[in-house]
Amino acid sequence: MIRPLTALVLLACAVPALAAPQAISVHSGWGAFRDGKRCYAIAEAEPSLARGELEPFASVSLAPDAPALQLRLSRVIRTGSAVTLQVGNRRFRLSGEGATATSRDVGNGGSRAVIAALREADTMVVHARDRRSRYFRDIYDLSGAPTAIDAALIGCAL
């Protein structure tokens, strides 16, 4: 299994060479990066005993005009399947397609409300059904998320 810090470096290197993300800092498994004018905080999901198709990760994009939570899920979702994000005691419906889910254009205050909730909770859980209609969930530890989000915001302000 790839360790969180290793995964963050691999994810940064996977972006096309023209983008060349710059690492800002790492906080309890969450990394902060700058990619041109865009900054983001990113982390892997907690290890799971359930077999997934992909290595899931969460990215909080902090573009001033379009902040959003973007997730690569551990499985490809069933077409039309609901993707639900639970952050602490709050629930949000995400937009999902394939193995991706995002907080863009969602109700309950939209992406800004989702990102604010990430700062206040200890964990977040993403729930959905895969192509075979099997229920799955990806779980994230949020202990380093607020600091990584702040580091990314400061990194883009400089």
Q: What percent of the chain has pLDDT over 90?
A: 65
Under 8 Å between Cβ of 152 and 60? yes
Name the CATH architecture for the domain at 4-157.
Answer: Sandwich (2.60)
- List 94's β-bridge partners, or say none: 83
153 sits in which H/E element: helix 145-157
**93 pLDDT higher than 80:** yes
- Domains of the chain by residue range: 4-157
Q: How far is CA 70 from the centre of its chain?
A: 5
pLDDT band at 115 (very low <50, low <70, confident <90, very high): very high
- pTM of this structure: 0.84
How far apart CA 58 and CA 104 sit, in angstroms, is: 14
The average pLDDT across 83-94 equals: 95
Under 8 Å between Cβ of 85 and 94? yes
pLDDT (tens digit, 9 = 90+) per residue, 20-57?
789 999 999 999 999 888 899 999 999 988 878 899 99
| Token pair belonging to 150 | 């702040």
**88 pLDDT higher than 90:** yes
Q: What is the mean pLDDT of the chain?
A: 86
How far apart CA 81 and CA 36 sit, in angstroms, is: 34
Q: Mean pLDDT lowest for which of 62-76, 102-116, 144-158?
A: 102-116
Q: Mean pLDDT lowest for which of 45-54, 85-94, 107-116, 133-142?
A: 107-116
Q: How far apart are the first and last CA of the chain?
A: 35
